[in-house]
Amino acid sequence: MNNKLKMAIKSVPFVSGIAKGVNRTVGITVRTAMHYPAMRKLNNELVDSMARLDKTSGMRIWYFGVPTHPNLGDQAQKFVIEKWLQNNYSEAEIIKIPSKAFNAGTSRIVRMIQNLIRPNDLIVMQSGHTMDGLHDDETPHRLASTCFPDNRIVFFPTSIRFNSKRGKELDRKAIGSHVNTLFLARDAVSAQIARDLYPRLDVRLYPDVVTSLIGKYSFDNQREGVLLCARNDGEKLYSYAAIDKLASALSGLCDVSRTDTTVKWDGIDLDSHDAWTGIEGVIESYSQKCVIVTDRYHGTIFARIAGTPVVVLKTNDHKVVSGAKWFTDAGDEGIVVADNLEEVPGLVSAFMKRFPDGVSPPAFAADYYDGLKSIIEEM
């Protein structure tokens, strides 16, 4: 099936929902088989790196779910989490475990970690929308919870929306059994789901880790035009045709550019300084726009880091709208959620008139992450 036909099918919301379900339950097996040689290579590299670990070293942090795909939001989370760990546990060695590497040979990876892990070691899980019952990160979630009962586990801010009843039950039994777990939920809906599903865990409402970058950057760029950052996956609510129509309507106000937060970074090591510099470059490019219009949560966050007003489009789940509530509850005047596409041009026009030079948001996440180590140390 060519990409044009795929996009046409995805543009019908009902069909898109069916296609997503089929893709996640049946297609996941096919994709895993196709990618297995590359995954096995990553697994071998992970085994080799762990075999070289010094068995006499001090505390280790085992960082599961490290993303290996070029989604700017996921990569930004990785860099910010790693920086937070380095700042707060400077004496600790951080062992990064991508899910693709882990899942290509779980038994031998678990055995190796069991031989290396110490009681005071910390296990952390990648942030994001990683808990739906079928996500790549679910296997390390479950196995870490069942295989390392004596270690502290911290889920960095996570969104929950289950697409699999079986996956949900597996999560409930495995993750819910590890009582020494701090589960940081990224939005109020996810927090309630986690409290219901994991009643023995310490569940806390926490903002996305990338929001801790708010207030860390200052830009003085000339602003021009609107950036439409629209997703092209199964979480989109509006059809491609509707988004095209919106872009046309916005072009009546000013120049309109289009992008997404999933990009192609051919030849760039995603763990490198170049990758982080690329993310910072994207944030700065947002500071050159008058308004951002997006249905991406990290598109929203990047916009507010850049001091650019943002009109948030709804998706087919709670993640983006619930995420926007962190900003509005903090009194941020530079963000609004559009009830429908028809009202977007008016909201954009109002922002352009009110904030021609942008508007800085409150740094609401700072207190959360300044106090996180103390919470972990009390576990």
| CATH class of the structural domain 7-209+367-377 | alpha beta
Please report, for residues 15, 16, 153, 158, 180, the alpha-carbon distance to residue 163 in angstroms, rounded to integers and kept in the order given: 16, 14, 24, 15, 26
Mean pLDDT (10-residue bins), the chain, 379 residues: 47 49 54 72 90 85 93 95 97 94 90 94 93 85 95 97 92 96 96 97 98 96 96 89 97 94 82 94 97 96 98 93 96 98 98 97 96 97
Q: Where are the CATH 3.40.50.2000 domain residues in the chain?
A: 226-354
24-70 tens-digit pLDDT: 555 555 656 666 778 888 899 999 999 999 877 789 999 999 998 88
Residues 211/326, Cβ–Cβ less than 8 Å: yes
* Dist. CA 282–CA 288, nearest whole Å: 10
Sequence-distant (6+) residues with CB within 8 A of 204 are 182, 183, 184, 185, 191, 375
| CATH fold label, 226-354 | Rossmann fold (3.40.50)
Contacts of 252 (CB under 8 A, 6+ apart): 345
- pTM summary value: 0.89
pLDDT per residue as tens digits for the range 337-354: 999 999 999 999 999 999
